[in-house]
Structure 1
Amino acid sequence: MTTPPPPSASTPTPVSAPTPVRILLVGGGHVGLYAALRLQQRLRPDEAELTLVDPKSYMTYQPLLAEAAAGAVDPRHVVVPLRRILPRVQVVLGRLSALSPATHRATVTVPPPVQQQTERDLQLDYDLLVLAPGAVPRILPVPGLAEHGIGFGSVQEAVSLRNHVLTQLDLASSTRDAALREAALTFVFVGGGYAGTGAIAELEDMARYAARHYPGIQPDDLHWVLVEAGDRILPETEPDVGLRTTAELRGRNIEVRVGTRLESVHDGVVALSDGSQFAARTLVWTAGVRAHPVLRETGLACDAQGRLRCDATLRVLGTTDVWAAGDGAAVPDLTRPGECCAATAQHAVRQARVLADNVVAQLRGERAVEYRYESKGSLTSLGLHKGVAQLRGRALHGRTAWLLHRAVHLRRMPTLDRKARVLADWTLAGLLKREIVSMGALEQPRAGFETLMELDQD
């Protein structure tokens, strides 16, 4: 079946469907949430029915995930409950498993009912579709990675990593085995993008503070290594920002190894492509993300990276009723001809608003607009009172960059409720001492109960 070409931005075609029009949004991340907020604001209840599909009932504000791992922000405050802020949107917990653009039907796999184990499929019909399932970690076939690696893409992983780091300090403080102590105090992060750089900087800052409370451990005993396959860290930013960040990290005795890859992890020994090997009980994998695999299965136009090919209005090429944005969309960057927009939160939030406005424009027979945004700079927090930034060619570092980072993300954080909670966390963290308690039991809540059951049986 041949799909008609999309209408141009100057010749909009209204949707010929009975009202209310059914709009389906796949993905509750930055794009899905902000687009739904915009559509909820601009469309009347009798104009459209909004449905959002995502495996989780909340959106994670990724730029603050590293601070949640370090304890500067309560992990509950970097997630936004979808149902609370989208009262006019039907939220369906599930994942897109099949799509039929010809019949305008999506198949969503939802969790099984209580006391059942098999998942079930739900059929959802739509008139207009927004595809923003986000990205998944880019995992490479490195020997031992699956057994020893720790991810850093969710709140659960951030909390788990914090507990793990503090547990290693406990272990190193209590053991007399020199080799075990050295391995416990060695922390390797693979991937020098925003996630990896922010995570290692925030956790090193937290661990440096915590070390003073562990007998026999000095901050300089901790060995932190950031491994990046490219020629510099923070490749999403301007080169000067990456170089300044490298200098800042190395000044804190964090090894930054660029042009280096993880070769293997065997029996707790990390081997790198530069020939070095060392024992480490912590290996964090943050080596980038890739478009969600489900996009290739939709039958829509994808590029070599598996992203949906879109025009500048964020409409998927070859369609009249499908839009996409964010990590899973190849959107032309009009400020850099021949390139696509980078997969950053800056673009995702702004694309979501333009996308929503263009969906409304099509419903009302108005003209769609093209997405155009030129980045004004970049910001990176590197721990308490530490950061680097570049704004309009001006470099900032230290406390100034750190304060600017917090101000920008506080402004972008959705809902007044979450803004107030994050601000309260920051204020208390500035007035009180850091929390250095490991809550490892949270990861295995039934462990204590199961132990008691075993004792009773004995």
Structure 2
Amino acid sequence: MQEILIVGGGYAGFYAAWGLERRLRPGEAHVTVVDPRPYMTYQPFLPEVAAGSVEARHAAVSHRRHLRRTRFVTGAVTRIDHAQRRVTVAPEDGPAFPLPYDVVVVTAGAVTRKFPVPGLDEQAIGMKHVEEAVAIRDAILTAFDRASVLPPGPERRRLLTVTFVGGGFSGVEGFGETLSLATALLRSYPEIARDELAFHLVEARGRILPEVSDGPGRWVVRHLERRGGRVHLDTQLRSAVDGHLVLSSGEEFDTGLLVWTAGNAANPVVTSHTDLPLTANGFVRVAATLQVEGDDEVVPGAWAAGDDAAVPDLTASRAGATTVPNAQHAVRQGRRLAANLVAVLRGGAPRPYVHHGLGVVATLGLGHGVFQYGRLVITGPLAWLMHRGYHVLAVPTWERKLRVLLVWASAVVGGRDIVSLAALAEPRRAFVSGEAAGRR
């Protein structure tokens, strides 16, 4: 029995395990997934989770429910020692321990890229996980509640100011969706005027959404600004100390919510704690077959895919190009990796990974979107419907598809749910404070 160990249960890891379950014969191999979280996050839904359009749990796909023949180890892999065919796992509780394997699949994903901006670690929140998206939504709802009882002034302005840093898909979609949420909330908060909302999107480059061409990118900027957003191009965040933002343009303002979505960086487990071959940028070097590639040949028993792997893009015109780190590629690489791994186990030949892009589609808020495929560009409600249609088909398992569709259908009748559950961050607070009051 071969022991196949998958490091990371995100897109590529989940689909690799799913594919192996379907393809492996009984008694052919054991599959183990190691991940700190018990679920795969469907990240394209996170902007809608932040806006209250998708229930948080519906953006998470349970490992144990949908991978019935896979073993799970809850913990973080801190080292991959392929020479010894083992990884080191650090669980939440207890000491780290070694886990042996015959074949390793590295799908640890990427981490949020950060820069040494003063105050960033203390003030900012990312948007790569469900918990972060929920916290963003609750922060906006709570800010409206608090601001509605304050007189006009600096504190009220701060609470009603939201800032996103990073103009890629995560930042633009999160910005557009939360701007849509805040605008819709005004109907329930007559104490707050539209011109009191301040939404800022800060991007270091001269354009947003690098995956689309210049024309649609400029249209998105104009569209967001028509809806009341402020887009700062060619601008960097210099300081965020105590929530007071200083931009490279010289502008300064206080913000109640700072969301950092300024790209991805290589996973530290891959960059610093493995003996597998890496690229100069710290990603696992792989052949087009998704086998880890050394200087002269593939490394036996080692595979990688997803955001932590430099996968050759065989559809690109530029020599040496690698696939962009997005869900389209991670899902398909996971599937191809599973098929190739089983083929090699049975003495067959692996096939190269080739995927021609399906275009790009982004939500910009309820009823707003943009889609591009080659020269075809669609904007507005139709692009928004295409975004929803594509992702409800793409989210894994029929159970999750049905749950998301039911939430969307209920929102058509009942509108957004605008209840903040920010108290979940301190669930014992009411109990403890009530107990203390009782003693008095």
Whether TM exceeds 0.5 here: the answer is yes
Separation in 2, partners of 1:76, 1:44: 32
Equivalent position to 1:320, from 300, 317, 328: 300
Partner of 1:284: 259
Does structure 1 residue 447 correspond to structure 2 residue 429?
yes
Aligned to 1:358: 340
Give the equivalent residue in structure 2 for 1:331: 311
After TM superposition, list the pairs within 5 Å mapping 1:232-311 onto structure 2.
232-296=207-271, 297-311=273-287
Say if 1:376 and 1:392, in contact at 8 Å, map to a contact too. Answer: no
Aligned residues: 433
3-state SS of 1:120 partner:
coil
Hey, what does 1:43 align to over in structure 2? 24
What's the RMSD between the two structures over aligned residues? 1.3
> How far apart, CA to CA, are the structure 2 residues paired with 1:128 and 1:243?
47
User: Equivalents in 2 of 1:425, 1:100: separation in Å?
Assistant: 45
* Matching of residues 32-71 of structure 1 within 5 Å: 32-71=13-52
Distance 1:419 1:398, change over 3 A: same
The partner residue of 1:219 within 194, 212, 216 is 194
The counterpart of 2:69, out of the listed 88, 96, 102, is: 88
- Deviation of 1:403 after TM superposition, in Å, equals 0.8
Quote the residue 2:358 is aligned against. Answer: 376
Picking from 322, 327, 330, the partner of 1:348 is 330
Say if 2:39 and 2:63, in contact at 8 Å, map to a contact too: yes
Distance 2:33 2:262 in 1: 29
CA contact (8 A) 2:123 2:242 kept: no
SS of match in other structure, 1:197: helix
Q: Deviation at 1:108?
A: 1.1
1:177 is displaced (CA, Å) by: 4.4
Per-residue deviation at 1:69?
1.2
| TM-superposition CA deviations, 1:215-242 (whole Å, max 9, x none) | 3212332111100112211123333332
Partner of 1:129: 104
Indicate yes or no: 2:393 matched with 1:415. Answer: no
Quick one: which amino acid aligns to residue 429 of structure 2? A
Give the Å deviation of 1:142: 0.4
Hey, what's the Cα distance between the residues in 1 that align with 2:104 and 2:354? 22
**Percent of aligned pairs sharing the same letter:** 44
Q: Contact (CA 8 Å) 1:261, 1:273: kept in 2 or not?
A: yes
Aligned twin of 1:23: 4
What is the CA–CA distance in structure 2 between the aligned matches of 1:49 and 1:147, rounded to whole Å?
43
> CA offsets per residue over residues 250-269 of structure 1, 9 Å max, x none?
22121111111000023432
d(CA) in 2 for partners of 1:64 and 1:357?
Answer: 28
The letter for the 2-side match of 1:217 is I
Unaligned runs of 5+ in 2: none
**Could you state the TM-score of these two structures normalised by the residue count of structure 2?**
0.96
Is the CA contact 1:31–1:325 (under 8 Å) kept in the aligned structure 2?
yes
Q: Which runs of 5+ in 1 are unaligned?
A: 1-19, 113-118
Q: Whole-Å Cα distance in 1 between the matches of residues 157 and 92 of structure 2?
A: 43
Q: Is contact 1:236-1:342 (8 Å) kept?
A: no
Task: Report Cα offsets for 1:354-405 as digits up to 9, x if no partner.
Answer: 1111101110111111111121310001111110001232100111101111
